[in-house]
Amino acid sequence: MATLAAAALALVACSGADAPGASSTASGGPGVRESAPDPSILPAAADAGVAARVADGVVPPTNRWYSGLAFGEPGLPVFPAPLSFQAVDGGFTMGLTRPVASENAILAPAVADLTVTFDGASGYGEVSEATPVGVTLSLGAADAVLAQGVPVVATTTEGGATATLSVAFAAAGDGLATATVAETTYGIAVSDGAVDGTSLTLDPGGSAQLFAVPDGGDAAAFAAALGPVARSADASYTLADVATTTVTYADEPTVVAVPEDRADGLECTLGTYATIHGTYAVCAAADVSWDVPLVDPSASLDLASLTEPEREEITAALDVDADAALELPADTYFGAKALYRLANLVQVADALGEDAIASRLQDTLAGQLELWGDPDGCIARAERCFTYDATLRGVVGLATAFGSEQFNDHHFHYGYLLYAAAVAGARDADLAARIGPVMDLVAEDIAAPGTSDAFPVRRAFDPVEGHSWASGISPFADGNNQESSSEAVLAWNAVALWADLRGDGELGGSARWMLSAESEAARRLWLAPNLAAFPEYGHGIVAIEWGAKRDYATWFSADPAAMLGIQIIPGQPTSMATLAAIPAERIVATVDAAWGAGSRPDQFADYLLMYRALAGDAERAAAWESAVALPDEAIDDGSSRTWLLAWIAAAG
């Protein structure tokens, strides 16, 4: 029965009418989530003490690139690349960012070249519209409209507005005025209004689009290419042989800025911008589409070709790991990691035909999942349970960890739990049914495929950047950030597995899109970035991506092993093919840099060995020998020697 259940999980992860994979087609985009699970089954969360500057009817936008506009200390900048934007009292300031590299960072901090203050306005505004791509900040009689991918700050008004500019602009053509600040020329293209020196006047229904002239570009050509204000910018996807993202900015072409490798097929004659991610082309387009390799969800390693010595070593490790005294923490991060560890031991036991061990581990795992899956759990206890925050519109687990009550890192934490629930639920349909209502809410919190009154759409995922943002309220001068690209990949793998188990094709298709995009971004931005434009930067990887910088640093350690290890953790099955596609010499070089000169690093040695094993047969053999000899204390609490050896064996 255990072997059949494992086979069923592998099957549901790869095919089926409700599980779009490489041989089928699925699509999705902005819209309402008609079948959103009901959070009223959970008790109310404690007040997180977070005040949101949002209009009535707007779901507070946690975990967005622009979350700082809605939360925290007012006036923090956000970064619709390549511009920076900051709310000020009664208006905003903006500027063109320019990257500067050093040994450990690539920086493009906020620039306050041009300030616009609206007559009669006060305060720092409120978010009145929000999508994963764009945001509208209402400032008195006018709105400021931003969209990731549009190098413009637009102002619109229904009833008319006047504003004061910090810099005098001169007429440069019909409806166009320009001014130069330091080395940057700025333009204002006005529709139904006028610019006169430091005065901006907008008639009812008028708009102004403020921009920085691109390198090699021309203000008049840029203004002529501008189309409608990108007020409703949003994203959609299609899954077929690849995963395709389409970001629609307007009904007709306007100016967009895209990485050069996304510029194929676009009209890109308006110049370029330098960004922390290299050169962006400036193009005229109504929408932009690009493909990434389709990644199928998975919860199992391919152990069909084990050699007899490998099988014996893994079985011996399983005997020890299955009998070890289990420490099962109670918080949403370390507690969920412990269940992920158990789920992988179950999977290996099934693959080895160790049915008694698998059954025993399943019982332990199921017992823990019953606690987490009890909708009334937080009425009876203050840990291993979930509540619902009706203010921030999401599920908050107890005990909290790493600021999760303010929606930090939810996708990291919940990915581990949903993965464990999918593995255990595939082996026991009754268990899946019992824990299903709560786990559905956990999945909806991080990955809702459409908006509802209870949850935002895809809370953390930025479709333009192709990756997630981890900070809930983003109280930082460098914008939002994400450290562990690999735990983000785990989140969408886990949501897809859980959705397949529950027959939720809408959630499953959306999760596959995010899984594919996040996997590609993990390689492109963190693990194998193109850093040719930044020779001063001294490393082969990036450890944290921010809105305004790329860091060789972590939140928890200055150890080089931490920089790389946090991009490999937890060594999940679905990452293997993506990681193996990185050139072997690059894998070896980055592992060598992370490992250092000692016998082994203080942390993440197991994940570094797993990564190195993907660099070819010789490296895999060496990693195996090191893994067999690795001390118990060197194995991460989300892994086990069993899983470490099984991964290395499967890497062949």
Tens-digit pLDDT profile for residues 601-651? 999 999 999 999 999 999 999 999 999 999 999 999 999 999 999 999 999
Please provide the average confidence, as pLDDT, over all residues in the chain: 95
Tell me the pLDDT tens digit for each residue of 567-584.
Answer: 999 999 999 999 999 999
The domain spans of the chain are 2-43+295-650, 75-123+134-231, 236-269+277-293
Q: What is the predicted pLDDT for the residue at 10?
A: 36
Distance of CA 37 to the CA centre of its chain: 23
- The pLDDT > 70 percentage for the chain reads 96
Residue 415 has pLDDT above 60, yes or no: yes
Q: How far apart are CA 111 and CA 620, in angstroms?
A: 48
Q: What is the predicted pLDDT for the residue at 403?
A: 98
Q: How confident is the model at residue 8 (pLDDT cuts 50, 70, 90)?
A: very low
Q: How many residues does the chain have?
A: 652
Q: What is the predicted pLDDT for the residue at 428?
A: 98
Task: Report the helix count and the strand count for the chain, using DSSP H and E.
Answer: 16, 26
Residue 1 has pLDDT above 90, yes or no: no
Residue 601, φ and ψ in degrees, nearest 5: -75, 165
Residue 89 has pLDDT above 90, yes or no: yes
Q: What is the predicted pLDDT for the residue at 210?
A: 99
Per the DSSP assignment, residues forming a β-bridge with 134 are 147
The fold for domain 2-43+295-650 equals Glycosyltransferase (1.50.10)
Q: How confident is the model at residue 3 (pLDDT cuts 50, 70, 90)?
A: very low
Q: What is the predicted pLDDT for the residue at 24?
A: 53
Q: What is the predicted pLDDT for the residue at 103?
A: 98
Distance set, CA 400 to CA 337, 408, 441 (Å) = 14, 10, 17
Q: What average pLDDT score do residues 460-485 get? A: 98
Q: How confident is the model at residue 20 (pLDDT cuts 50, 70, 90)?
A: very low
Q: What average pLDDT score do residues 505-519 get? A: 98
CA-wise closest residue to 210 among 74, 97, 76, 116: 116
Tell me the pLDDT tens digit for each residue of 226-269.
Answer: 999 999 999 999 999 999 999 999 999 999 999 999 999 999 99
Q: Identify residue 223 by its one-letter amino acid code.
A: A
DSSP-derived letter for residue 240 is S
Q: How confident is the model at residue 547 (pLDDT cuts 50, 70, 90)?
A: very high
Residue 19 has pLDDT above 80, yes or no: no
Q: How confident is the model at residue 599 (pLDDT cuts 50, 70, 90)?
A: confident
Q: What average pLDDT score do residues 23-43 get? A: 85
For 50, other C-beta atoms within 10 Å of its C-beta total 18
Q: What is the predicted pLDDT for the residue at 17?
A: 31
Residue 21 has pLDDT above 90, yes or no: no
Q: How confident is the model at residue 187 (pLDDT cuts 50, 70, 90)?
A: very high
Q: What is the predicted pLDDT for the residue at 29?
A: 84
Residue 6 has pLDDT above 80, yes or no: no
Q: What average pLDDT score do residues 272-280 get? A: 98
Residues 6+ apart with CB under 8 A from 598: none
Q: What average pLDDT score do residues 309-323 get? A: 97
Q: What is the predicted pLDDT for the residue at 84?
A: 98
Q: What is the predicted pLDDT for the residue at 299?
A: 97
